[in-house]
């Protein structure tokens, strides 16, 4: 495999990893927000 192709593949995988980490951090923030909600803030609809 040529080094140029290897570098391009590496960049591609790094971009995927960065997107995954970004998504995970957003999900983590959303989860923390949900945990921070008080039980009184949650209204159940019957």
Please give the C-alpha separations between residue 42 and each of 6, 27, 28, 29, 31, in angstroms, as whole numbers. Answer: 51, 20, 20, 18, 15
Q: What is the DSSP letter of 40?
A: G
For residue 46, what pLDDT is reported?
A: 67
Question: 15-38: per-residue pLDDT in tens?
Answer: 888 888 899 899 999 888 888 887
Overall pTM > 0.95? no
Q: From start to end of the chain, where are the E strands?
A: none
Domain ranges of the chain: 3-35
Burial of 19 (0-12, 13-18, 19+ CB in 10 A): exposed
Task: Count CA atoms closer than 13 A to 2's CA, side-chain side.
Answer: 3
């Amino acid at each position: 495999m040529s080094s140029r192709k290897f570098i391009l593949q590496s960049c591609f995988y790094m971009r995927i990893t960065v997107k995954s980490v970004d998504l995970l951090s957003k999900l983590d923030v959303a989860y923390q927000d949900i945990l921070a909600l008080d039980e009184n803030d949650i209204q159940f609809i019957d």
